[in-house]
Amino acid sequence: MASVIANFDRRWIFLAVGLLVVSLYAAGISSELPESEYVRDFHATLEALPPGAIVLLSADFDPASAAELLPMYQGVIHHLFARDLRIVNVATWPAAPPFTQKEFARIAPLYGKTYGVDWVELGFLPGDDVAMGSIGQSLRSAYPRDDRRTSWADLPLLADVGDNMRGISLLITASAGYPGILEWIAQVGGRYDVTLLAGTTAVQTPDLFAFYPLQLKGFLGAATGATQYLQLAAPLAARLPTGEGALDEVRDENQRRMLVQSWAHILILALIVVGNVIYFRTRVPTGAARR
Amino acid sequence: MKREIPILLTVLCGLAVTWSFFSPVGVSSAMNAELLDWAQVFFSVAFLLGIANLVRISLKQVTAGHADSPYKLVMLAVLFGYLLAGLAEIHGWLPAAFTEEHGNKALRNWGHAKIFVPLQATMFSLLAFYIASAAFRAFRARSLEATLLLTAGAVVMLGQVPIGDELTGGWASRALAFLMVHVNGAGQKAIIMGATLGVLATGLRIVLGIERSYLSE
């Protein structure tokens, strides 16, 4: 058995995965998902906020997890602007701001939003959970200027934000690991009694069930959660000049990815089964080996 | 004094942060804010130390003619190139015509979008291939525990994607919800509570000056 599996050229497996992913993606077939309870709660928490409320949106990810987290980040920005909520955008991962700057520059004009009034980008703050503690304690002292080097006084939105998270109605994080949602819960969520929502990678999602629904009102788990949320948020997004919804393309793209992911999971399960069948059929029983 | 002063500082800082956690107003709040600022300054200085150490080790290898020297040189060139680009943008060293046409963060954003994003996304994507290969070569039902783990993993993989429900008539997502909420959720809570008690105990030992391993004792 050991020789069958050990001698198998794994490049055949790589080829199978590559062919499956590329062919299904090229076929462009999409797959709709039923929304789970935690995703509906995420959506409902946003819907329950009154217009004008301020949301602290934290980008805690980098390019490695952008495939999972960026679509949900885009969906959240559309959703918040569509509901006339105001956004204070921060980041505790250094590679996140270029993503968020690009998204705000693209999405804000669709809703006629003005920088400094409807949203503010404060940028990256070093220090991991210490940075989160600083943000909770005093956003003003953590960020004396925004990411464009504008002073606090020239940003009218920040006049409504005080120390100890005063004025912040909700904190949402797109979290890829450390520092991320678990640190936000410890440093800010429990300490200042702020409602928390999160979007996370597949690896981090199981950690969140221990906090839902008390410390965490809802969450989007990986590409599956992102797709489910985009299905709910897309109808709320602004209309493009073409008549299409501004989030439709992102939602459709995610639905296509879900079909690819579906079959990739099936392939991996099949490989586990085949590997185990070979193992049991060629295994030398313990007693026989002794004889 | 070499030992007592660091211990005294640790004890005072630990007590101040703990106090501000339970009473985040007035003096305790101001003190906590000050300590957090200091911690961030230390964190930023650690970046500089990291860069200095990286440069020192890399240059040592380059001058010794190590086989990885070309990679080290590329790494140093990217490190200082990106640093210079950032400094140039922050301090306005770039020609006005360039920033007018391309924006204030064009250089850094270009490096991020054209080099960093594709490289990191590619590295992460490779995981799919390695997981598929590992599924065939290593995931074995050798024992009861391994079989339980494999079965739970299979249920989660099926329940997490739309095809899982189509193949099982909706059973996969229900089983996934049960596993995640009741089995995983309960287990996570127990682990988190246990770990937190451990952290509390260690924190108390540090604040009381009993734990001194951070002083290399």
Task: Please provide the DSSP assignment of A56-86 as one string.
Answer: EEEEE--HHHHHHHHHHHHHHHHHHHHTT-E
- Chain B residues whose CB is inside 8 A of the A62 CB are 120
- Closest chain B residue to A257, measured at CA: B161
Is A168 part of any domain? yes
Number of domains in chain A: 2
Is A252 part of any domain? no
Is A60 part of any domain? yes
Is A12 part of any domain? yes
Mean pLDDT by 10 residues, chain B (217 residues): 84 88 83 87 90 95 93 94 88 78 76 90 90 88 92 91 88 91 92 94 87 78
Question: What whole-number distance in Å separates Cα of residue A108 and Cα of residue A247?
Answer: 13
- Closest chain B residue to A32, measured at CA: B162
Is the Cβ pair A202, B37 closer than 8 Å? no
Which pLDDT band holds residue A171 (cuts at 50, 70, 90)?
A: very high
Please check whether residues A24 and A60 belong to one and the same domain. no
Is A104 part of any domain? yes
Please check whether residues A137 and A55 belong to one and the same domain. yes
Q: Which member of B47, B118, B135 has the closest CB to residue A275?
A: B135
Report, as an integer, the average pLDDT of A133-141: 91
Is the CB of residue B48 less than 8 Å from the CB of residue A126?
A: no
Q: Is the peptide bond before A241 cis (omega within 30 degrees of 0)?
A: no
Report, as an integer, the average pLDDT of A138-150: 91
Question: What whole-number distance in Å separates Cα of residue A261 and Cα of residue B162?
Answer: 9
- Chain B residues whose CB is inside 8 A of the A31 CB are 162-163
Tokens of B26: 């007035």
Is A156 part of any domain? yes
Is the Cβ pair A207, B47 closer than 8 Å? no
- Chain B residues whose CB is inside 8 A of the A124 CB are none
Is the CB of residue A189 less than 8 Å from the CB of residue A170?
A: no
Question: What whole-number distance in Å separates Cα of residue A158 and Cα of residue A91?
Answer: 17
* Residue A288 vs residue B25, higher pLDDT: B25
Which pLDDT band holds residue A101 (cuts at 50, 70, 90)?
A: very high
Please check whether residues A112 and A208 belong to one and the same domain. yes
Question: What whole-number distance in Å separates Cα of residue B215 and Cα of residue B217?
Answer: 5
Report, as an integer, the average pLDDT of A231-241: 91
User: What share of chain A has pLDDT > 90, as a percent?
Assistant: 79
Residues in chain B: 217
> In Å, how far is A240's CA from the nearest CA of chain B?
25
Is the Cβ pair B40, A17 closer than 8 Å? no
pLDDT at A70 exceeding the cut of 70: yes
* Residue B95 vs residue A223, higher pLDDT: A223
- Which pLDDT belongs to residue A113? 96
Q: Cα dist. A173→A36, A101, A163 in Å?
A: 19, 16, 20
Q: For residue A83, which phi and psi values (nearest 5 degrees)?
A: -95, 10
Is the Cβ pair B133, A14 closer than 8 Å? yes
Residue listed under structure tokens 């700057």: A101
Please check whether residues A44 and A19 belong to one and the same domain. no
Cβ burial of B59 (10 Å; 0-12, 13-18, 19+) is: middle
Which pLDDT band holds residue A248 (cuts at 50, 70, 90)?
A: very high
Q: Which stretches within B23-116 are classed as H helix?
A: 26-63, 69-90, 96-102, 106-111
**Residue A88 belongs to what H/E stretch?**
strand A86-91
* Helix, strand, or coil (residue A1): coil
- Closest chain B residue to A221, measured at CA: B160
* Residue A15 vs residue B209, higher pLDDT: A15
Is the Cβ pair A191, B109 closer than 8 Å? no
- Chain B residues whose CB is inside 8 A of the A95 CB are 112, 116, 120
Is the CB of residue A174 less than 8 Å from the CB of residue A60?
A: yes
- Chain B residues whose CB is inside 8 A of the A134 CB are 33, 36-37, 40
Question: What whole-number distance in Å separates Cα of residue A199 and Cα of residue A76?
Answer: 10
pLDDT at A59 exceeding the cut of 90: yes
Question: What whole-number distance in Å separates Cα of residue A206 and Cα of residue A248?
Answer: 29
- Chain A residues whose CB is inside 8 A of the B136 CB are 5, 8, 10, 13, 271-272, 274-275
Please check whether residues A187 and A216 belong to one and the same domain. yes
Is A110 part of any domain? yes
- Chain A residues whose CB is inside 8 A of the B185 CB are 209-210, 212
Q: Chain A to chain B, count of Cβ pairs less than 8 Å apart?
A: 161
- Which pLDDT belongs to residue A286? 62
Q: Please report, for the domain that includes residue A169, its CATH number.
A: 3.40.50
Is the Cβ pair B132, A272 closer than 8 Å? no
Please check whether residues A141 and A14 belong to one and the same domain. no
Question: What whole-number distance in Å separates Cα of residue A265 and Cα of residue B163?
Answer: 9
Report, as an integer, the average pLDDT of A14-23: 94
**Residue A172 belongs to what H/E stretch?**
strand A168-175
- Which pLDDT belongs to residue A157? 96
- Which pLDDT belongs to residue A33? 86
Is A251 part of any domain? no
Is the Cβ pair B141, A62 closer than 8 Å? no
Is the Cβ pair A14, B173 closer than 8 Å? no
- Which pLDDT belongs to residue A265? 92
- Closest chain B residue to A3, measured at CA: B137
Ranked by mean pLDDT, the top range of A19-33, A101-115, B34-48, B93-107 is A101-115
Tokens of B37: 């600022």
By DSSP bridging, strand A86-91 and strand A195-200 are unpaired
Is the CB of residue A175 less than 8 Å from the CB of residue A61?
A: yes
The DSSP code for B113 is I
- Closest chain B residue to A34, measured at CA: B162
> In Å, how far is A10's CA from the nearest CA of chain B?
6
Which pLDDT band holds residue A107 (cuts at 50, 70, 90)?
A: very high
> In Å, how far is A24's CA from the nearest CA of chain B?
14
Tokens of B193: 């509570």
Is the Cβ pair A164, B32 closer than 8 Å? no
- Closest chain B residue to A19, measured at CA: B129
- Chain A residues whose CB is inside 8 A of the B128 CB are 17, 21, 264
Is the CB of residue A16 less than 8 Å from the CB of residue B132?
A: yes
Instruction: Residue A181: name the closest of A225, A129, A122 by CA.
Output: A129
A139, A265, A274, A280, best to mutate vs chain B, most B CBs in 10 Å? A265
Please check whether residues A41 and A149 belong to one and the same domain. yes
Q: In what order do the strands lie in the sheet with A195-200?
A: A119-124, A86-91, A54-60, A168-175, A195-200, A218-221
pTM for the whole structure: 0.89
Tokens of A155: 């940003």
The structural domains of chain B, with segments of one domain joined by +, span 140-217
**Residue B131 belongs to what H/E stretch?**
helix B117-137
- Closest chain B residue to A213, measured at CA: B181
- Which pLDDT belongs to residue A121? 96
Q: Which member of A37, A64, A209 has the closest CB to residue B184?
A: A209
Q: How far is CA A270 from the centre of its chain?
A: 29
The DSSP code for A51 is T
Is the Cβ pair B40, A134 closer than 8 Å? yes
- What is the domain extent for residue A128? 37-246
